[in-house]
Structure 1
């Protein structure tokens, strides 16, 4: 029997982490003979996966970011599809990033009609652009869904779909010793409150959110002068984050830069930071579940350029975007999105978490429920 041959495509940091976990699991099942190729990021590379080009080229969001890079994105779609066709794998596994991945899959499927296509991470058709499911079904055979309410949407469109649980639930809680070690490293005194600030993993997100988040920091340090502030930065934007959040005379914020560390080391430090947080201010995205997995109370914010914001307002069908809220069917996590992404609104919400232990504990309870619903403690 020939070894399984899979072509994997991940287009952004969250997909890279999913891809790395998938590779590890597949190797456990199939052994070292498994043959893999495709596109991925540093987490997949740490497992020996060789990407055909830097994944960061695909990590763009919003119309104003995509348009200037459209020629390169179209070229990469064409090149990647040609690579799939030449490889003739047993299956094409696309991981999130549907706008890129599914265009590649359509081109490849046209040349290889019998190619099996598996898409990992169901697109959020329950939130916006519901017609994507039917369009996707023309190319995709099977969907691996991260959220428990997603399979019916995929099946209704004609695809098979399994809820596989969210990988965040496999992330263990950081022990007290881990948070103590990081506090000592960063010079945070015992009992000193900690605020995490996470302005996103894409350059466009960081550019838009950093001025807002910096003003929130200024307001909070005025009312909470002993507050320790830590900014965990994603590798591709670490320099931009460091420039956007310079240290004050008091020595804050401290930037957690993963540069020069292994993926495992950087991830362990980030999780320890999440676990020690009294509150977090974060860009909307999967980071909300990572914070919830470590019991960090949070406020979510997101800004977009005027064109993208106008499109989103017309198309979004839900009143919350935070996954903890969606999974638990609550509104436990405060959100300040688009026009509401203003320091004057955000700062009081963060201060409420810092000042009211009951409010912080209510969020931790919601986070625990979300983790259970996503599969923590299950098989």
Structure 2
């Protein structure tokens, strides 16, 4: 069985690796993996056509300078998939890139196409479901309320659960060990998560750094931990260097992937509060029961367009899944130091309000059930019958 996969960012790389593991466990006979992915997918046997980081771009203004390069990569992926003629092509998240590849592939033949992670048509651009139905046969949804949107457009859609529910969570002992290793003792600890993409970090750190300085003034005992990723680590180190009591930076460079993941999980568990970019990381925080404040901004052009198209009043997944608005968020023009700092201090003082919300989120996402990667693999194989 030949499978062509595309993932465009770290969260997609995780999904792809878990799906590949599921396919290995369920499929009898040889399996070939081709396409584009990151280090986790490469560990499972994929040799990426080009570095996945080339696709990790978000925001209209951020995409424009790389438009022609991305367009060339879209064509390259479609041609590679067509030449391979796989049993199935699975595109993972990154819809602006992946769905364009799927469109070209469908135009050239009858390869079965599966898109993993339903585009958030419930949030904005609802017409995307009808457009993608022309070249996507099946959707694998992470959120329990998504299948009806996809099915109404004519696609098969399987809710497979979110991978965060099956990922390891650090213990209290792990958290104590992390604090001891970094000389943090019993100090209140804030986790700073400005994102994994260069475009995100370059936009958010100039807000998060002065927020950290203001928080230190309000709470001199407060310490910070900032997990980062290889592509942005130097940028992060440079921008936080001037802070009076700089954060502990978790740098994956030169580390074993799993060792770094364990340290990051321990940091999540050890933290008393997190200031995080909007996205999947909010679910990782929910899994470790870490209270959070969400903040996010984009370029002025993207801001104007998104505000016109946004159909919901919160982008934080735990708020959406539980139909509450308990987790504070500061988006676009509200993403300011003056707004962020009081929210972080409030959550730090009264974290209990979020505990019930994050626990309910994990239940609704499938915690305690079958591994989402295995469920996704079952759905893919069932669709091939």
Same fold (TM over 0.5): yes
Distance 2:244 2:91 in 1: 47
Q: Which residue of 2 aligns with 1:117?
A: 113
Distance 1:98 1:326 in 2: 21
Structure 1: 5+ residue runs without aligned partners? Answer: none
Q: How many Å apart are 1:65 and its aligned residue?
A: 1.0
Cα deviation 1:7-48 (Å, max 9, x = unaligned): 001011110111111111111112672111000011112223
1:78-89 mapped onto 2 (5 Å cutoff): 78-89=75-86
Distance 1:256 1:365 in 2: 29
Distance 1:172 1:253 in 2: 25
- 8 A Cα contact 2:7 2:38, kept in partner: yes
Normalised by the length of structure 1, the TM-score is 0.96
Q: Which residue of 1 aligns with 2:332?
A: 338
Picking from 153, 166, 191, the partner of 1:157 is 153
Q: Does 1:58 align with 2:55?
A: yes
- 8 A Cα contact 2:33 2:45, kept in partner: no
Distance 1:37 1:166 in 2: 24
Distance 1:124 1:102 in 2: 14
- 8 A Cα contact 1:309 1:338, kept in partner: yes
Q: Which residue of 1 aligns with 2:378?
A: none
Q: How many Å apart are 1:272 and its aligned residue?
A: 1.0
Cα deviation 1:168-201 (Å, max 9, x = unaligned): 0002321122112211221111x21110001111
Q: Secondary structure at the match of 1:6?
A: strand
Structure 2: 5+ residue runs without aligned partners? Answer: 371-385
Q: How many Å apart are 1:341 and its aligned residue?
A: 0.3
Q: Which residue of 1 aligns with 2:264?
A: 270
Q: How many Å apart are 1:264 and its aligned residue?
A: 1.3
Picking from 57, 72, 75, the partner of 1:75 is 72
Distance 1:323 1:274 in 2: 18
Q: Which residue of 2 aligns with 1:185?
A: 181
Distance 1:41 1:244 in 2: 26
Distance 2:193 2:234 in 1: 14
Picking from 6, 10, 20, the partner of 1:9 is 6
Q: In the comparison of the two structures, how many residue pairs are matched? A: 370
- 8 A Cα contact 2:213 2:243, kept in partner: no
Distance 1:241 1:24 in 2: 33
Q: How many Å apart are 1:308 and its aligned residue?
A: 0.3
Cα deviation 1:345-372 (Å, max 9, x = unaligned): 100000011122xxx1121210000000
Q: How many Å apart are 1:302 and its aligned residue?
A: 0.5
Distance 2:170 2:77 in 1: 39
